[in-house]
Structure 1
Amino acid sequence: MTPLSLLFLTLFNSILGLSVLFPILGPLARELGLSEVQVGLFSTGYALMQFVLAAYWGRRSEVMGRKPILLMGIVGFAVSFFLFAFFAWLGYQKVLLGWGLFAAMLFSRLLGGAFSSATLPTAQAYLADITPREERTQSFAILGAAFGLGVIFGPAIGAGLSHFGLLAPVVFSASLALLNALFVWVVLPESRKAEARPSSPPQLSWADPRILPLLLIGLSINLASIAMEQTVAFLYQDRLLLSPARTAQAVGIALVVFGVVGVLVQGVWVRAVKWPPRKLLMLGMPLLLLGYLGLMFASSFAWLTASLMLLGLGSMTSPGLTAAQSLAVSDDEQGAVAGLSSAAQALGRMLGPVVGTSLYGLSPAYPYVFSALLIGLALVFFLSRPQLASAR
């Protein structure tokens, strides 16, 4: 297998382990007596640690190599999810209750965020190492397709495993991560040889004019997306009047559809048309805007899921933006820019759950009003700067 294929499998396994939880986090929290805001804080704490440490891991991968950092990230993810399942089990047994249960589960999420923040920036830098600059956009589309496939199979597996209890998907995620770590250790080659590594990592600033506008657009897209993801299970449950188990199944099906569309767009269409990054962003952001507008008003399973399909079509923004960031800097700054990009995304994941769940508490439509406004502003900002993402 080629290094690109091996990296694809590594990322697919990582996102699969995370996405199996999407349909069950909301129902699990409600069964344990936790509020929507506390569920949001789980994700906020996870993302806070990613925001703090992603840039660090990206820089360290320049010095230590990509493979050791990937391994640390995946193993840390596994340990944190085993702890999350254990603390939730203690909640079911009434050993931990209320704020004690919340604090223990939050600790496991903080630990997971600290280590998992190594995975994405290192994988992006690895991909840049093995891909010529003129092929970056298409290669990053493969990375997006790996994420999409994880979203296809993960929620379906999570929904299926929920029949055995809502903790079964959590244990599955942790076990899969351990297998993924073994795969990386045995099979994945190192992309950055020792003689090519600097003695100290490059210092790339947030304020660097080459990347700051792209980081702001990425933050807006991710913040809008996370505000949706953290509330969509509640939206399906409340709009369709479903039980917790039926909610997990319905959201699982909807996210499978979302993932299929994303995989086809990124893994097939983006690679076929070979558009430059700017063109992908100019089409993708309006599609995202339409998807969030749809979620504001949809009241049936069909319309809710059709809105998610529009968001899947808009996922072409992901390879476009990632490629634009990679092409904006030198080959010696790939780990650094990937770390800053991941940190910007983590900031969106940190703010998105609190914003989304807080707005949901006021009205089920408000998180999607917020997301639509954010994407609209990002689109205006992007169109007013024709130099952004103009390189192939």
Structure 2
Amino acid sequence: MTATTEPVEQPLRQARRRDKALLFVGVVIMGIGQSFMFIIAAPLARDIGLSDSQYGLAFTIANLSLIIAAPYWGRKSDVWGRKPIFLIGVAGVAIGNLLLALVLQIGLWGWLSVWPLFFLLIGARAIYGATSTAIYSASSAYIADVTDRASRAQGIAFIGGGNSLGIVLGPAIGGVLAFVSVLFPMYFLAVVGSAATITTYMILRETRHQEEVRRPATLKINDARLRPFLIMRFAFWLAFTSLQFITAFYVADRLGLTDTTEIVRMASIAMFCQAIVSVFIQIVVLQAIRIPQMMLLRLCFPLFAVGLFALAMSTSLIPILISFAILGVALSFSHAGIGGGASLSVEPYEQGIAAGLLSSVTTIGIVIGPVIGTALYDIAPNLPLFVSAAYLSLLSIYALSIKLPRSKR
């Protein structure tokens, strides 16, 4: 028996590792593209005549496409299969970056006035967001298809780690390639995304049988099985993005910095510390140590609250970096805990729409968080930290009441 099955199982394991590697590359590319929105597009907005508020408004309006598109692509992956939706996402990163680069290039050449550029920027960013979000919906569902209950958290962490790694690599890649020209990194990513699309089309295997693909998913946003995880994902990212938007202000005020270059440097170090810890936890630690989804879920909120309280008490750089490292652990646990728990709560043919809904509420938190964070910061610098820590502590108690169904795969 063993001699017969071993030659069959070995190529299957190799093919599965290759498929996961392709998913990982696609998610990394998506993370790099996200980082380019901040390190390349944002500074150039001023150069093409847009005010900071105009760029922020364009970004916010365009983000509405992500909220709508994420569950759509998730549902389509349950009907069409994972591979075609993932391909749409990777191609969307390539096309979206090319469109954004062209709009910015037209602005730098002075061919259009501010308001036409404003609407073109919204359109390009909306196309980018509406298509690239298919990567997360399809890759998360794909991982759910090829992992069992015990290894689901590891699989989801693998995908989350890829996105975090892309966000870490983005500034480094952008900084190096910008020596060619300021927009060259975006053109380069468009080429890389196109190559990844072709490679994925040729190699990635579909996970779902045709009879499974035809079965429609009916999962709704108010489904009792998924609701707790949607609430927690939204709450987590609401707090997380509110902190991200005030980080530079907070670091400057805590360390008594006035020089803009020094403020950017210190804030970047803090956020890099958080990101690199998150990458290490998801790609290394959670792949080596199998921790149950619910334990990760129940740890991420108290860890986040501890990190916020520690940050509020910090008055020098080292304690600030330690606080951000704790927040990086909480972020990595939330990816695997909330995503893995949601996946185990629904049926195999509902994995895509579940991942899409999680992505949608994440985007809502990302849109609302900066508004709340900056408003609270104007009242008192520590107020957004204490408010977030307080409701995250309540969610820690709520997480203890959540039970996973035993019958799901």
Q: TM-score if structure 1 supplies the norm length?
A: 0.85
Give the structure, 1 or 2, with the largest relative contact order (CA under 8 Å, sep 6 or more): 1
Asked if the contact 1:210–1:329 (Cα under 8 Å) also holds between the matched residues in 2, the reply is yes
Residue 151 in structure 1 maps to residue 146 in structure 2: no
Q: Which residue of 2 aligns with 1:216?
A: 231
Q: Which moved more, 1:329-338 or 1:73-82?
A: 73-82
Q: Which residue of 1 aligns with 2:220?
A: 205
How far did 1:263 drift?
A: 2.0
Query: 1:254 and 1:95, CA in 2 relative to 1: closer, same or farther beyond 3 A?
Result: farther
2:152 to 131, 136, 154: 136
The number of residues matched between the two structures is 389
> Aligned with 2:150: secondary structure?
helix
Unaligned runs of 5+ in 1: none
Query: 1:79 and 1:318, CA in 2 relative to 1: closer, same or farther beyond 3 A?
Result: same
Residue 271 in structure 1 maps to residue 287 in structure 2: yes
How far did 1:47 drift?
A: 3.0
Cα distance in 1, alignment partners of residues 191 and 118 from structure 2: 23
Greater C-alpha radius of gyration: 2
Q: Which residue of 2 aligns with 1:83?
A: 99
Alignment of 1:69-218 (within 5 A): 69-162=85-178, 166-198=182-214, 201-218=216-233
Asked if the contact 1:75–1:177 (Cα under 8 Å) also holds between the matched residues in 2, the reply is yes
Question: Which amino acid counterpart does residue 188 of structure 1 have in structure 2?
Answer: L
Cα distance in 2, alignment partners of residues 241 and 73 from structure 1: 42
Asked if the contact 2:82–2:207 (Cα under 8 Å) also holds between the matched residues in 1, the reply is yes
Query: 1:299 and 1:108, CA in 2 relative to 1: closer, same or farther beyond 3 A?
Result: farther
How far did 1:179 drift?
A: 2.7
Query: 1:206 and 1:226, CA in 2 relative to 1: closer, same or farther beyond 3 A?
Result: same
Query: 1:163 and 1:311, CA in 2 relative to 1: closer, same or farther beyond 3 A?
Result: farther
Alignment of 1:1-392 (within 5 A): 1=14, 2=17, 3-24=19-40, 26-32=42-48, 34-162=50-178, 166-198=182-214, 201-232=216-247, 240-243=257-260, 253-296=269-312, 302-315=318-331, 316-356=333-373, 368-369=385-386, 371-383=388-400, 385-387=401-403
Cα distance in 2, alignment partners of residues 261 and 148 from structure 1: 10
Asked if the contact 1:17–1:174 (Cα under 8 Å) also holds between the matched residues in 2, the reply is no
Query: 1:366 and 1:185, CA in 2 relative to 1: closer, same or farther beyond 3 A?
Result: farther
How far did 1:360 drift?
A: 5.8
How far did 1:123 drift?
A: 0.7
Asked if the contact 1:227–1:352 (Cα under 8 Å) also holds between the matched residues in 2, the reply is yes
Cα distance in 1, alignment partners of residues 260 and 230 from structure 2: 40
Q: What is the identity percentage for the equivalent residue pairs of Structure 1 and Structure 2?
A: 34
Cα distance in 2, alignment partners of residues 295 and 24 from structure 1: 29
> Aligned with 2:60: secondary structure?
helix
> Aligned with 2:291: secondary structure?
coil
Q: Which residue of 1 aligns with 2:8?
A: none
Asked if the contact 2:50–2:118 (Cα under 8 Å) also holds between the matched residues in 1, the reply is yes
CA-to-aligned-CA distance 1:181-222 (integer Å, 9 cap, x gap) = 223222222222334311x52110111111101110011112
How far did 1:333 drift?
A: 1.5
Cα distance in 1, alignment partners of residues 299 and 85 from structure 2: 35
How far did 1:127 drift?
A: 0.7
How far did 1:126 drift?
A: 0.6
Q: TM-score if structure 2 supplies the norm length?
A: 0.82
Query: 1:69 and 1:176, CA in 2 relative to 1: closer, same or farther beyond 3 A?
Result: same
> Aligned with 1:339: secondary structure?
helix
Query: 1:296 and 1:138, CA in 2 relative to 1: closer, same or farther beyond 3 A?
Result: same
Asked if the contact 2:30–2:132 (Cα under 8 Å) also holds between the matched residues in 1, the reply is no
Question: Which amino acid counterpart does residue 77 of structure 2 have in structure 1?
Answer: S
Query: 1:81 and 1:13, CA in 2 relative to 1: closer, same or farther beyond 3 A?
Result: closer
How far did 1:242 drift?
A: 4.6
Q: Which moved more, 1:371-380 or 1:174-183?
A: 371-380
Query: 1:109 and 1:361, CA in 2 relative to 1: closer, same or farther beyond 3 A?
Result: farther
Question: Which amino acid counterpart does residue 223 of structure 2 have in structure 1?
Answer: D
